[in-house]
Structure 1
Amino acid sequence: MKTIRAQVLEAEQSAVLGPGDDERFSGYGVMGLSFSSGHVLAMRRFPVTSVGPGYRSVWLRRPSGSWTIYADAPPAVSCARYFGAALEAAVQCPITVIWTGDSAFSVRIGGDVDLAWDLELASTPVTRAMTAVLAALPAAVLENTAVLKAMGAASGPALRAGRLGLTGAVPNGQGFRAKPRRMWFVSRSSASLAGQDFGSLQPLRVQTRLGDFWIPQRGIFLIGASSFDAFDPARHLPASVPGAA
């Protein structure tokens, strides 16, 4: 059986975009991970997108509730394209994601940010069952928003992750559709920002969200795809962050 690392690297090398006129992304990431300090981290790695070059991003929520998205591509073609209206800042900077073992990897942002984040993934009977179901679904099923709503409503309690939203609207107004195919839990993690340790893994007292995208109350790592409505300047907000120069 292939290791988690091998499956992720295979997804990295063979990522393709499905058909459609919407804005499409293929890759993997950590949906969200909360710590006892009140910080929340998330990570995205999309080797291919329909709006620009592939990129890496890290989402950071501080205990105050403010969000920053760091990405190694410009905001207009990365996550701020969809979430900018809810951010305190969107920062373009180098990000490294390095696998350190068959089920472990590290995320680093250097310079003034100085983020160090280490993670270990694990397979469980629940994630194996979910992966078997998700991998078998025809692609057309994961385009159906009614199916995605039902999947999200059922998956949250099954995964003990609070509310999950696989479809809805992002802060900038576009509709989104998350299409997971393979899943693992984050079993261990540590993180620090400019030397400040985030403490242990711990669900937030009140679950947080960005638009209709709820940050899971436990760490979930996914391989899959996502899509968003094509940008319409008459209906959607630009990638810029409110108040930014």
Structure 2
Amino acid sequence: MALRVFPENCFGPYRTLWHRDPSGSWSIHVDGPRLDTACPRYYGAACDYTGHARIGLTWTGPATLRVTMDSPSLDWTLTASATRLLGLLNGIGGALPLATWRPRLLVRARERLARALGMGDLRLSGTMPSGHTGTLMPQRMYFVDDSHATFDGADLGRPVRLRENPRIGDVPLPARGTLAIGQAVWEILDPAEYERTRTETARRR
């Protein structure tokens, strides 16, 4: 199970809920105006289903989030926590400029650090199932060791740390429950779309 919330971007805010069933089939559910400007654009090629849904978010405590979805039905409550080491790293990560995500060596250093934190063989930069090249840029991270969810009536159990990273296509996801706050960028391959996006973004500034 994965949740992504993009409250600000150049093509409209959205929320997505990702689910992988026991057979390994992925679905992505989008609460937003369009599927082709949300996560399915980059990950939909690796999914058996993508579609719209209403996704609700409610903070029930300082670090506890309840996530609900209408169809398929979901009720998911998770609590984030941090260790002293994570608190130190979050302070450093939040202070570093975004330019530090450009050098490949610095991205790989962050991946090695994520591995040391129990997230497995994580890749923060690479090729998405759509063929786009993208980089995820977490600036603050927290562990999610307390979580309970029911999905379409099925109890999904409790969080575990996996020996191998779950994958969507060839993209590895964290091997343990993680809440990350940050940004992301993807390369626009179509020259016409690139120019159109630049123009629309400039108008919003």
For Structure 1 versus Structure 2, the TM-score category normalised by the shorter chain is 0.7 to 0.9
Which consecutive residues of structure 1, in runs of 5 or more, have no partner in the other structure?
1-40, 234-245
5 Å-filtered alignment, 1:1-245, equals: 41-50=1-10, 52-73=11-32, 74-111=34-71, 113-152=72-111, 154-204=112-162, 206-232=164-190
Paired residues of 2:122 and 2:165 also in contact (CA < 8 A): no
Alignment length (residue pairs): 191
Structure 2 CA distance for partners of 1:90 and 1:65, relative to 1, 3 Å: same
Cα distance in 2 for residues equivalent to 1:88 and 1:204: 23
The alignment partner of 2:8 has SS state of: strand
1:195-236 CA-partner distances (Å, limit 9, x unpaired): 110112123454221245311111111111000011439xxx
The aligned counterpart of 1:3 is none
Moved more, 201-210 or 183-192: 201-210
Structure number with greater CO (CA < 8 Å, separation at least 6) is 1
Structure 2: segments with no counterpart, 5+ residues: 192-205
Equivalent pair of 2:67/2:76 in contact (CA under 8 Å): yes
Identity %: 34
Could you tell me the TM-score, scaled by structure 2's length?
0.87
Detail structure 1 runs of 4+ shifted over 6 Å in the superposition: none
Cα RMSD, aligned residues only: 1.8
Q: 1:205 to 1:162 in 2, by over 3 A?
A: closer
Q: Which amino acid aligns with 1:66?
A: S
**Cα deviation per residue 1:116-141 (whole Å; 9 max; x = unaligned)?**
11101111122112202211212211
Partner of 1:32: none
SS of the residue corresponding to residue 150 of structure 1 reads: helix
Alignment partner of 2:62: what SS? coil
Amino acid in the other structure paired with 1:180: P
Task: Report the TM-score, using the length of structure 1 for normalisation.
Answer: 0.73
